[in-house]
Amino acid sequence: MIGSDTTDGVPAQRGSDPADGPHSLLHATLRRGRFAVTAEIGPPRSASIEPIRRKARLLRDWIDAANVTDSQSAVARLGSLAGSVAAMQEGVEPVMQLQCRDRNRIALQSDLLSGAALGVPNVLLLTGDHPRFGDHPDAKPVFDLDSIQLIWTARMLRDQRKLLSGRDLSTPPRYLIGAVENPFAPPLRFRAERLGKKIAAGAQFVQTQFIFDVAIFAQWMADVRALGLDTRCWVLAGVGPVKSLRAIEHMRSEVPGMYVPDEVIRRLRGVPSDRVAQEGINLCAEIIQQVREIPGVAGVHVMAFSWEEAIPEILERAGIGRRSQAEAATSSTTNAIGAR
């Protein structure tokens, strides 16, 4: 589940990365114009990478890359960097999430360099949920930088070969830079402009919050296109299945930035309790089909936290099958792009 991203900040278009790109399989897929699919792998509350490995094996034939979350919802878990390395060991390209809540600028830059040094080819940078939403509500929040400043920092490390201190890097990182956006956060008319700030800072792709109202998302995409942002950043529409009525009520009332319209609640309540999960899968597949028809949408980001086994069925129902052998071969070749 994409975390909140609530702090504004500063000023890359798709082609702003160095000319020797693409940096990753995901980058190559987006540049080719193939509809991209990313998913999300949530690390465990455990000092074990086996859950990451298991989820990666389940998803690797279906997706172009997998986000490894960074203590999402302000809940302490195995770190995103460790999870990203575990995903790579199972043949899944990671998107390492990194948020500002728990780290100052020294630690953030260190993690960006560490991920790149270990071969992580994509990063997703966000502000992060406040600790009061998680399991350590008394934890001291940091927020030394906000998401836009962190995006700008990652771009400077990569393109200018410099730390925020001004000191030079002997070996710069190579990665595709991602951001998050919530098309449903008020005031709606400014959400596309906010994406523009992130693109100006260096974001090359964006993953959105869960979409349950396609009409609002379509209007946001119209605003994005009107500003020409769809030609400067790849938009991956955030979707996910609902497993139970309890889950959707939690998302609606407890998850910051989530918008669930009444008709979705009515639809899920209108089926027998033992059919809610299947109806949630059907709804997710329908939303994927609808957003795929919206101009400017470059792919989908499927969030099925603790229900990753539903993702293959969702993609099949949406008309997105597993990658062909040719694409798998291309993936293996392109993965070598990230070698340092």
Please write the tens of the pLDDT for every residue from 239-262. 999 999 999 988 888 777 789 999
Q: Would residue 5 count as lying in a domain?
A: no
Its pTM stands at 0.89
Considering the domain boundaries, does residue 33 fall inside one? Answer: yes
Does some domain include residue 64?
Answer: yes
pLDDT at 336: 45
pLDDT tens for each residue of 262-310: 999 999 999 999 999 999 999 999 999 999 999 999 999 999 988 999 9
* Residue 209 is assigned to a structural domain of this protein: yes
Give the relative orientation of helices 191-201 and 214-226 as an angle to the nearest 10 degrees: 50
User: Tokens 């771009």 identify what position?
Assistant: 155
Residue 340 counted as domain residue: no
Task: Look at residue 258 in the predicted model and tell me its pLDDT.
Answer: 85
**Cα separations (Å) of 170 from 8, 19, 54, 167?**
31, 19, 36, 10
Is residue 1 assigned to a domain? Answer: no
Q: How many CB atoms sit inside 10 A of residue 315's CB?
A: 22
Residues in the chain, pLDDT under 50: 6-13, 15-19, 325-326, 328-340
pLDDT in the model for residue 15: 46
Q: Which structural domain range is residue 256 located in?
A: 21-334
**pLDDT value of residue 340:** 33
Q: Is 90 part of a structural domain of the chain?
A: yes
| Whole-Å CA distances, 158 to 22, 48, 113, 237, 272 | 13, 31, 9, 26, 52
pLDDT at site 14: 56
Question: Would 339 be classed as within a structural domain?
Answer: no
Number of domains in the chain: 1
DSSP assignment of 60-113 equals TTT-SEEEE-SSGGG---S-HHHHHHHHHHTT--EEEEEESTT--HHHHHHHHH
Q: Domain holding 287: CATH number?
A: 3.20.20.220
